[in-house]
Amino acid sequence: MTSYSNLQIFTVELIGTFILVVFATGSIVYDAEVFDGDLGIPFAALAPFIALLIGVYSFGKISLAHFNPAVTVGYYITGHISKIQVLYYFVAEIIGALLGSFFVLTFIGKKVNLGANVPNYDFSILLIFPVEVLASTMLMGVIFYVVYTKGLRGFSGVAIGGIVGLDILFLAFISGASMNPARALAPALFSGSLENLWLYWTAPYIGTTIAAFAFRKKFQAQRTENYE
């Protein structure tokens, strides 16, 4: 549990998600608008890495820097946040993401469906779905590892941003590597490209839930030690 108010948490989660969506989707749109897509996946992987560096180091001590409804579910399972806080996080993340996509549409462009995630249907859905689950599990696992060992200090932002960047770099060509239902929702809604939302509103939650249950006992034991 954080010691900050729900309003403070709401505010920084909205701002952090806004930054993440602007960087993550705006980089894709900017690449398409200016470079005809020549910068490709490496550029799309670098942008959210930078956004998460900003978000984690700026807001991590207040909200644990979720910026992602699937991550929020993971933190709820491990007991870091309460039921009522889940609502604050979810609303902030969705509003932040929508504002982010509106910013991209207004100031960057509207190509490639505003950067909406797209799986590669050259692969079977029997591969695409588990790859998206895997990407989300690895993200949540890294988050929990740094929180369990160091808290959100030191190289935590590099680690969290890094795993997002690496997931995109190596897995986006299969599943789209969203890992984030809010990041997937906003550009899909603004562009009307809704056909893939089912994937990004199922697989990430499964992935973060797997990681949460894997770490749940560790955090429970840690809290017990702290009370002794």
**Counted domains in the chain:** 1
**Residue 42 in tokens:** 């490496």
Specify the length of the chain in residues: 228
User: How far apart (Å, rounded) are the C-alpha atoms in residues 140 and 145?
Assistant: 8
Residue 1 lies in a domain: no
Neighbouring C-beta atoms of residue 129, cutoff 10 Å: 16
Q: Are 110 and 29 in contact (CB under 8 A)?
A: yes
* Helix ranges (DSSP H) in the chain: 6-35, 40-63, 69-77, 83-107, 112-115, 125-149, 156-175, 181-191, 197-200, 203-227
Q: Are 133 and 175 in contact (CB under 8 A)?
A: no
Q: Domain span at residue 127? A: 6-227
- CA dist 34 and 48 (Å) reads 19
Q: How confident is the model at residue 150, as a pLDDT?
A: 74
pLDDT score recorded for residue 120: 98
Which pLDDT belongs to residue 148?
A: 87
pLDDT at 153: 78
Q: Which residue in the block uniquely carries the two structure tokens 């599943």?
A: 175
Q: In angstroms, how far is CA 42 from the centroid of its own chain?
A: 18
**Chunked in runs of 10, what are the mean pLDDT values of the chain (228 residues)?**
87 98 98 98 98 96 97 97 97 98 98 98 98 98 91 87 98 98 98 97 98 93 70
Alpha-carbon separation of residue 144 from 19, 99, 118, 208 (angstroms): 22, 28, 27, 10
The answer to the question of residue 59 being in a domain is yes
CATH code: domain of residue 122: 1.20.1080.10
Q: Is 120 helix (H, G, I), strand (E, B) or coil?
A: coil
- Confidence (pTM): 0.95
Residue 186 and residue 202 in contact, taking contact as beta carbons nearer than 8 Å: no
pLDDT at 227: 58
198 domain residue, yes or no: yes
199 within some domain:
yes
By CB atoms closer than 10 A (0-12, 13-18, 19+), residue 195 is: exposed
Residue 152, pLDDT score? 74
pLDDT value of position 8: 97
Rounded to 5 degrees, φ, ψ at 38 are -70, -25
What pLDDT, on a 0 to 100 scale, did the predictor assign at position 216?
94
Please name the helix (run of DSSP H) or strand (run of DSSP E) that holds residue 152, with its range, or none.
none
> Residue 14 has which token pair?
């909205």
From the CB of residue 197, how many other CB atoms can be counted at a distance below 10 Å?
Answer: 17
